[in-house]
Structure 1
Amino acid sequence: MSRIAVGTPDFKRSNRAMFFGGFSCFALLYCVQPLMPLLAHEFALTPAQSSLSLSISTGTLALSLLVSSVVSDRFGRKPIMVAAMAVAALMTLACAFAHGYGQLLVLRALLGLALGGMPAIAMAYLGEEIEPASLGLSMGLYISGSAFGGMFGRLLASTLSDFLSWRVALAVIGVAGVLAAGEFWRSLPASRHFRAGAGGVKALAGGLRQHFTDAGLPWLFALAFLLMGCFVSAYNFIGFRLLGAPFGLRQSVVGAISFLYLLGIFSSVWAGKLADRLGRRGVLWLVMSVMAAGLLLTLSGSLLVIVLGMALTTFGFFASHSITSSWVGRRARPPQALASALYLFFYYLGSSVIGWLAGVLWAWGGWNGVVALLGTLLGGALLIARRLRGLAPLEPVQALAPAG
C-alpha cells in the first residue's frame, strides 16, 4: 500500500489534523509562559519559582514520552493522540479553578503527563504514513501548527489576563484545546502502515540500544535538548525584562511579542522544503547561526533591536527544529515511535532543565546572565551541527524511508 503523497486528499487531511495537534500541544503547554510575572505577584514567588509552572509540565511530559511511545507501538497511534489532547485540555480548564500555587503545579504536572501521548507519536505517524519525498514538508506543517499554537496560547493568555484575569485566560484556552482535539479526531486518516509490536520493558530496552548506538541519533537528541532549552528560556524571561525598567510595558503589549511565532510558522515549512531539496547537513548549521545571532541582539538597550533579536531567534529555532525532527524520522529504524519519543524527551527535558537554570542566572545577572548561559549552550549546539555535516547516511531498508 502506497504512502500518503503531496496533493492527495489524505495528505491534506493528515496535515490539517497534525496542524491542530501541534497547535493544541503548544497552546496548552506554553500558555502559562507570559503569565509567570502575574503568578509571581499573586502567589509571592521569585521568577525562578514562577517558571516551575512551565518547567514541571515539560519535565513530566518528557518522562511520559517513553512510556506512551511503547504503548502506541502496541495499540496504535491515533487513539493515544486523541486521548492525550482531550485530557490535557481538561487539565487546563481545571487550572483555572486552582486554589493555590501548589494545586496549580499538580494540575500542570498532570497536563504534562497527558501530553506525552501526542508529540512523539505524531512524529512516528508521519514517518510511517507520509512518503519520504514529502516528509520534510509534512513535518514542517506540523511544526508550523506548533508555532501557531505557541503564539495563540501566549497572546490570548496575555490579553485576557491583562483585561480580565489569568484564570479566565486558562479557561478559554482549555475550551480551545477541547475543540482542537475534536477536529484532530475527525480529520486524521487511520494508520495504514502501522504494525503492532511487542511492548514492555524488554522492547523498550532493545529500542534504546538500537537508537543510542546509531552514529547520528544521539547527536540529534542533544540538539533537541539545547535548542529547545535555549528557545523556551528566552521567552520565559524576556517578559520579566520588558515589564521592568527601563521599558515598563503592559502585560498585553509584552504578550504581543508572541506574534513573532508567525515567523516560526513560515520558517518551519520553508526549512523543511529546503532540507528536502538541499539536504539537512548543509542547511541546519545556517539556521542555527541565525538563532544565535538573534539572541545576541537582545542584549541591546533598544526595544526595536530586542524585538528584531527575538524575531531572528524564533525564525532560527523553528527552522532548526523542523530539520532535526524530520532527520530523526528519516534516520530511525524500528521502533520509530521510540526514536521520536527520545528526541522529544530531550527536547522537553531541555525546556525544563535549562528553563530552570536560566531562572538561577536571571537572579544572578539579569538578562545578561541569561544570554551568557544560552549563548554558551548554542555555541555547543553549533559544534554538534558541524559534526553532523560529516555523518554518513544509512543504507535504505525495505519498507522504510531512505535514511538521512
Structure 2
Amino acid sequence: MRQDCSGKRRPAHSRSSSAVSSTVAGPVTLPAQPATATPHIERGTAAFIRTSIALFCAGLATFTLLYCTQPLLPVFSREFGVSAASASLAISLPSIALAIGTLVASSLSESFGRKPLMVGSVFASAGLTLVSAFAPSWEAFLILRALQGLALAGLPAAAMAYLAEEVHPRSIGLSMGLYISGNALGGMAGRVGAGLLSEFVSWHVAVGAMGALGLVTATVFLVNLRPSRHFTPRPLRLGSLAQGFAGHLRERGLRALFLTGALLMGGFVTMYNYIGYRLVAPEIGLSPSIAGLVYSVYLVGIVASVSIGALADRLGRARIFWMNLVVILVGLGVSLLPSVTGAVVGLAFLTLGFFGAHAIACAWVGRRALKAKAQASSLYLFACYGGSAVLGTFGGWALEAWGWAGVVGLIAVCTLVALVAALWLSRLKPLAQPVA
C-alpha cells in the first residue's frame, strides 16, 4: 500500500495502472505477438483451384513437349533411314538430358525459388521445340531435342517440391493427382495431335504446332501460379547439396521409390515407343494417323491419377500402391493379342496402372523427404527419366530381336521387380514429421 498526495492509501497496482495509462511518459510499447503462420493451400479454396490449373498446365506442357515425337518415330525411320532403336533417340536423348538436368535444377530451386525456375523452364523448352521444327538434319534435330530436355528439367523437380511445401498434407494426393493428370493430357495431346497432323502435313509442321501449344500452356501457368509462401532459400553450397542428395539416398523408403519410378516409367515409355510399330505392321496394318489415335487412351491416365491420388489420401498410399502394378501386368498380357482391341485394351490397363502408381509415388517422395524436397523430387525424376531412356532404347533392340513378345517380356520383368519393391514399401513404417 502507498500514500498519495491526498493522504489516502491505495493499492500499489493502482499507481502502476495510472502510469501505464498516462500519456506524459510517451507511448507504451506492448509485447510483440507471434505472427500467424501462412496457411497451406487446401482443397475447396480459390487458391487450390488456381494452383491446380497452373500445375495442370505445367504437366500438360511437360509431356506435350517431351513426347510429341513418339508417334513420329516410324516417320523418322522412313524419312531419315534409321532403325527403330535409332529413331527412339528422339525420346531417349531429351529424357537423359531431363534426368541429369533435374539434379542441377533442383539445387537451383532450393536457392532461387520454385516459380521463377519453373516459368523459365517451360518457356525455354517450348521455344526450343519451335526451333527444332526447322532442323535441317537428323543430327541437328537430336541436338535440339537434347537441349529441349535439359531446358525442361527445371519444371518437374520444382513442381513436386512446390506442391509438397504449399499444399496441406490432407490435399497433397489430390493436387499431385491433378498435376499428373496434366501430364497424361499432355502426353495424349502431343501424341495424338502430332500423329494426326503427320498424316496431312510434314513432321516439321507437326512439331512446330506442339511448340506453339507449349507456349500457350506456359502462359496460363505463369498467370495462375502464386509465388511460394513456405519456401526457405538455402545457400548454394556444393557441400550442403551433396549432403542433401546423400541423405535422401540413405533413406531406404526413398531408395525403393526411386527404383520403382525407374522401372515403371521405363516400361511405360517403352510400350508407347513401340506400340506404333506394332499397329502399322502387316499383322494389324493400320495407317500412321489411325495408329496415332491409340494414344487417346491417355484419357484413362487423367482419371486414374486424380481418382487414385485422392483415394490414397483417404486409404493410405501403402495400401493401394502395389495394386496399380498388378493392373499393369494384366495390361501387358492383354496386349499380346494380335488385334487392335488387344493393343488398345492392354495399353489402357497399362496406362491406368502407371499413372495411378506415379501419382502416389510423387506424393510419397514429398512426404518421406523431411527437408530439401526439391532434391528428393529430382532424384525420383532422375530415376524415372533415366529409366525411360535406358529401357526405351533396350525396347527397340528387343523389338528387332524378338518382336512384340520381346518388348512385352522386358516390361513385364521390370514390373515384377517393381512389384516386389512396392510390397516391401507397404510394410515400411512412415516417417514422423509435423503436419501443418
| Match status 1:284 vs 2:321 | yes
Aligned residue for 2:112?
Answer: 75
Structure 2 stretches lacking a partner, 5+ long: 1-37
**CA apart distance, 1:305:** 1.9
Q: Counterpart of 2:97 in structure 1: which amino acid?
A: T
Higher mean C-alpha displacement, 278-287 vs 301-310? 301-310
CA contact (8 A) 1:33 1:236 kept: yes
CA contact (8 A) 2:398 2:407 kept: yes
> What is the aligned counterpart of 2:383 among 346, 351, 355?
346
| Match status 1:268 vs 2:305 | yes
Aligned residue for 1:386?
Answer: 423
CA distance in 2, matches of 1:38, 1:84: 28
Aligned residue for 1:29?
Answer: 66
| Match status 1:168 vs 2:213 | no
**CA apart distance, 1:203:** 2.1
SS in 2 for 1:286: helix
CA distance in 2, matches of 1:142, 1:66: 20
Aligned residue for 1:190?
Answer: 227
Aligned residue for 2:24?
Answer: none
> What is the aligned counterpart of 1:87 among 120, 124, 127?
124
Following superposition of structure 1 onto structure 2, how do residues 95-110 of structure 1 map, counting pairs within 5 Å?
A: 95-110=132-147
CA distance in 2, matches of 1:352, 1:249: 27
How much identity, in percent, do the aligned residues show?
Answer: 46
Aligned residue for 1:228?
Answer: 265
> What is the aligned counterpart of 2:51 among 2, 14, 20?
14
CA distance in 1, matches of 2:333, 2:111: 46
CA contact (8 A) 1:70 1:200 kept: no
Deviation string 1:317-366 (CA, Å, 9 cap, x unpaired) is: 10010111111111111101000000000010011000011111111101
Deviation string 1:80-103 (CA, Å, 9 cap, x unpaired) is: 000100010011101110000000
Aligned residue for 2:255?
Answer: 218
Q: Counterpart of 1:123 in structure 2: which amino acid?
A: M
**CA apart distance, 1:302:** 2.4
| Match status 1:297 vs 2:297 | no
CA distance in 1, matches of 2:164, 2:343: 37
Q: What is the root-mean-square deviation of aligned Cα atoms in Å?
A: 0.8
Deviation string 1:188-245 (CA, Å, 9 cap, x unpaired) is: 0111000001223212211112101112000000011000000000010010011111
| Match status 1:208 vs 2:245 | yes
> What is the aligned counterpart of 1:374 among 411, 414, 417?
411
Q: Counterpart of 2:290 in structure 1: which amino acid?
A: V
> What is the aligned counterpart of 2:433 among 383, 396, 399?
396
SS in 2 for 1:249: coil
CA contact (8 A) 2:102 2:157 kept: yes
CA contact (8 A) 1:25 1:146 kept: yes
CA distance in 1, matches of 2:77, 2:433: 52
Following superposition of structure 1 onto structure 2, how do residues 58-73 of structure 1 map, counting pairs within 5 Å?
A: 58-73=95-110
> What is the aligned counterpart of 1:51 among 62, 84, 88?
88
**CA apart distance, 1:287:** 1.1
TM-score relative to the length of structure 2: 0.90
Following superposition of structure 1 onto structure 2, how do residues 110-129 of structure 1 map, counting pairs within 5 Å?
A: 110-129=147-166
CA distance in 1, matches of 2:237, 2:397: 38
Higher-Rg member (1/2)? 2
CA contact (8 A) 1:92 1:170 kept: yes
CA distance in 2, matches of 1:155, 1:338: 33
Q: Would you say how many aligned residue pairs link Structure 1 and Structure 2?
A: 399
CA distance in 2, matches of 1:296, 1:88: 36
CA distance in 2, matches of 1:168, 1:325: 34
| Match status 1:330 vs 2:370 | no
SS in 2 for 1:216: helix
SS in 2 for 1:133: coil
SS in 2 for 1:196: coil
CA distance in 2, matches of 1:302, 1:40: 24
| Match status 1:137 vs 2:174 | yes
SS in 2 for 1:68: helix
CA distance in 1, matches of 2:252, 2:210: 41
Aligned residue for 1:254?
Answer: 291
**CA apart distance, 1:389:** 1.1
SS in 2 for 1:301: coil
**CA apart distance, 1:303:** 1.8
Q: Moved runs in structure 1, 4+ residues, more than 6 A? A: none
SS in 2 for 1:132: coil
**CA apart distance, 1:301:** 1.2
CA distance in 1, matches of 2:340, 2:215: 37
CA distance in 2, matches of 1:303, 1:142: 30
Structure 1 stretches lacking a partner, 5+ long: none
